[in-house]
């Protein structure tokens, strides 16, 4: 679970997993976010199989003001393979206009959830939360492949993420192998 209780250890895990660098710039978690797949709370670096991620995650957002809205983004940082991630980042899900103190079901799903199906290697799937400037100020991109979180955040004045967590996923019967770079 990515939350304020993680403190700097959440950002450290993101740096060790090279999410900081490959997908995000350094940031400080400032709002709680809980990501649950099935009955499992997601923590940085946990290992999942495609059968665990068929259904979209349940994502709860902290905060204390329903007038504050957030954008949720889920990307594959290693598409199509960790050795040659030429489609990095691949956008799997986007929800905008999520009010603080609620969950993603209260937002607007602008890019429908596509369950991860990695075919080679161990992929990092990153769930990020950004604070919006206001309601209905963020719109869906035109494509999923070669999505760039940094550019998207800049385009919509989202700033740095307020929370992020990632999990690893590989094919159901694979040993995949680790990233080499």
Percent of the chain with pLDDT over 90: 82
Tell me what the pLDDT averaged over the chain comes to: 90
pLDDT band at 8 (very low <50, low <70, confident <90, very high): very low
Predicted pLDDT at 77: 96
Mean pLDDT computed over 82-105: 95
What distance lies between CA 97 and its chain's CA centroid? Answer: 16
Please report the beta strands in 4-56, taking only residues with DSSP state E, as ranges in sequence order: 33-37, 40-41, 46-48
Q: Which of 47-56, 115-124, 126-135, 171-180 is predicted most confidently?
A: 126-135
**Nearest 5°: phi and psi at 54?**
-60, -45
């Amino acid at each position: 679970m990515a939350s304020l209780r993680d403190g700097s250890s959440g950002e450290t895990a993101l740096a060790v997993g090279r999410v900081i660098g490959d997908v995000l710039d350094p940031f400080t978690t400032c709002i709680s976010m809980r990501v649950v797949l099935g009955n499992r709370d997601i923590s940085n670096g946990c290992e999942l199989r495609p059968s665990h991620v068929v259904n979209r995650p349940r994502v709860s957002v902290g905060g204390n003001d329903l007038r504050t809205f957030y954008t949720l983004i889920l990307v594959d940082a290693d598409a199509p393979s960790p050795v040659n991630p030429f489609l990095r980042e691949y956008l799997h899900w986007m929800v905008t206009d999520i009010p603080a103190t609620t969950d993603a079901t209260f937002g607007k799903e602008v890019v429908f959830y596509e369950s991860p199906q990695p075919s080679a290697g161990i992929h990092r799937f990153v769930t990020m939360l950004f604070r919006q400037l206001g309601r209905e100020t963020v719109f869906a991109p035109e494509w999923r492949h070669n999505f760039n979180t940094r550019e998207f955040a800049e385009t919509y004045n989202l700033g740095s993420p307020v929370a992020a967590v990632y999990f690893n996923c590989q094919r159901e019967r694979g040993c995949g192998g680790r990233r080499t770079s």
